[in-house]
């Protein structure tokens, strides 16, 4: 009887667990070759366990339903328990009826300074500031969850974006860079406040419409391309009033290569107006847009 009960419990918890991320963590300390590397291995393990074992939303998911993401941390300096680093945050979501994973977020945060003592427990409390390390990791976890939700149901990520915004507000008391508008105009403060601002609502609508188009690919490739093209018109409208907006750049950091791939093959649609719009919206990627040929 006990064996049967144990088997059932293992089956249930193996089938659905209250963790939402499947995050690959890398801590790169190659620039610090003269230092003891063990602490960086411990740090990598601690961060991985924190991200993948924390129940961020209370939603039980199968392993296959968890969000695939990665955080690549490059440490540039370390003195005792103080670390200076950057963090590259990426996430993707599956496309309906395919094995393809579409990139959703690709963000490089250059303001990642934190304190870490080897083997310390990383624990997230949404109402208090414990450490900049925990705050940054939790912030991006909720951004990943929110952006993923927005790609499936329009504006459904709002609650998780608001949690990320609260983390940012609470973390300001720690004094670390990246949480304040005084720290620059391409940091965590502006990322979350712009996302939730009505001024930039077209970006979130584009995220939904774009991925709805991707999910049509297995049914009607031409209709899919037209839907994706139409979604990018929203960003062209935003660009008229907010040229070169930070959120627009964040969008294309994740999507530029995919857009080139989508419109460089398959059923033919009119793309001259699309390329014109892309050059206006994202001139930094003009070398990519010129390669869209049909």
Look at residue 72 in the predicted model and tell me its pLDDT: 98
On whether both 181 and 211 belong to a single domain, the answer is no
For residue 3, being part of any structural domain is answered with no
For residue 273, being part of any structural domain is answered with yes
Rounded CA separation 165/20 (Å): 19
171: left (phi over 0), alpha (psi -120 to 50) or beta: alpha
Predicted confidence (pLDDT) at residue 11 exceeds the cutoff of 50: no
Q: Pick from 178, 196, 214: which residue ends a domain?
A: 196
Mind spelling out the 3-state secondary structure of 199-242? HHHHHHHHHHHHHHHHHCCCCCHHHHHHHHHHHHHHHHHHHHHC
On whether both 126 and 254 belong to a single domain, the answer is no
pLDDT, one tens digit per residue, over 176-189 is: 999 999 998 899 99
For residue 69, being part of any structural domain is answered with yes
Rounded CA separation 259/84 (Å): 34
Q: 10 pLDDT band (50/70/90 cuts)?
A: very low
On whether both 39 and 179 belong to a single domain, the answer is yes
For residue 169, being part of any structural domain is answered with yes
Structurally, how many domains does the chain consist of?
Answer: 2
On whether both 179 and 231 belong to a single domain, the answer is no
Range of the domain at 29: 16-196
On whether both 221 and 239 belong to a single domain, the answer is yes
Contacts of range 203-206, beta carbons closer than 8 Å, 24 or more positions apart: 203/234, 203/235, 203/238, 203/245, 203/247, 203/248, 203/251, 204/150, 204/154, 204/155, 204/157, 205/154, 205/231, 205/234, 206/231, 206/232, 206/234, 206/235, 206/251
Rounded CA separation 165/102 (Å): 25
pLDDT, one tens digit per residue, over 103-126 is: 999 999 999 999 999 999 999 999
pLDDT, one tens digit per residue, over 237-282 is: 999 999 999 999 999 999 999 999 999 988 999 999 999 999 999 9
Model pTM score? 0.93
On whether both 186 and 218 belong to a single domain, the answer is no
On whether both 38 and 157 belong to a single domain, the answer is yes
Predicted confidence (pLDDT) at residue 133 exceeds the cutoff of 50: yes
For residue 21, being part of any structural domain is answered with yes
């Amino acid at each position: 009887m006990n064996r049967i009960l144990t088997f059932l419990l293992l089956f249930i918890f193996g089938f659905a667990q209250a963790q939402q991320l499947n995050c690959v963590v890398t801590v790169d300390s190659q620039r610090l070759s003269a230092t003891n590397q063990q602490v960086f291995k411990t740090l990598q393990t601690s961060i991985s366990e924190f991200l993948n074992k924390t129940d961020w939303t209370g939603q039980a998911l199968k392993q296959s339903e968890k969000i695939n993401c990665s955080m690549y941390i490059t440490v540039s300096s370390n003195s005792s328990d103080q670390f200076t680093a950057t963090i590259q945050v990426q996430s993707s979501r599956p496309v309906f009826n395919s094995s393809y994973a579409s990139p959703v977020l690709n963000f490089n945060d250059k303001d990642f300074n934190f304190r870490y003592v080897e083997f310390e427990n990383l624990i997230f409390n949404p109402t208090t500031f414990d450490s900049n390390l925990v705050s940054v990791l939790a912030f991006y976890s909720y951004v990943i969850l929110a952006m993923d939700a927005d790609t499936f149901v329009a504006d459904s990520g709002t609650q998780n974006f608001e949690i990320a915004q609260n983390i940012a507000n609470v973390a300001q008391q720690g004094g670390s860079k990246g949480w304040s508008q005084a720290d620059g105009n391409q940091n965590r403060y502006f990322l979350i406040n712009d996302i939730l601002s009505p001024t930039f609502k077209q970006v979130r609508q584009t995220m939904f419409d774009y991925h709805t188009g991707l999910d049509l690919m297995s049914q009607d490739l031409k209709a899919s391309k037209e839907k994706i093209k139409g979604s990018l018109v929203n960003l062209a409208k935003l660009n008229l009033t907010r040229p070169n907006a930070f959120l627009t750049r964040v969008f294309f950091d994740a999507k530029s290569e995919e857009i080139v791939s989508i419109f460089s093959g398959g059923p033919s649609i009119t793309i001259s107006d699309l390329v014109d719009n892309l050059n206006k919206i994202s001139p930094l990627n003009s070398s990519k847009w010129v390669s869209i040929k049909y």
